[in-house]
Amino acid sequence: MPSGKQLADIGYKAFSASMMLLTVYGGYLCSVRAYHYLQLRSARRQAAQEEKSSGVL
């Protein structure tokens, strides 16, 4: 039977590991969102450039 200190250590390690995973997952979600934002901005900029060049003709 584990002692109280051992149980507390196990609980602390489990909590720390879950917080680390949540942090990594949050970073992943943030980077995916930033990537999609940059792709959308690039596509809009390209569409505006094409519209401007076609309007000149």
Cα separation, 34 vs 40, in Å, equals 10
The pTM is what?
0.70
For residues 2 and 10, the answer to whether their CB atoms sit within 8 Å is: yes
Q: Is the pLDDT of residue 37 over 90?
A: yes
According to the model, what pLDDT value does residue 53 have? 87
Q: Is the pLDDT of residue 56 over 80?
A: no
Cα separation, 11 vs 6, in Å, equals 9
Task: At 54, list the tokens.
Answer: 């076609």
Distances (CA, A) of 29 to 18, 23, 42, 48, 50: 16, 10, 20, 29, 32
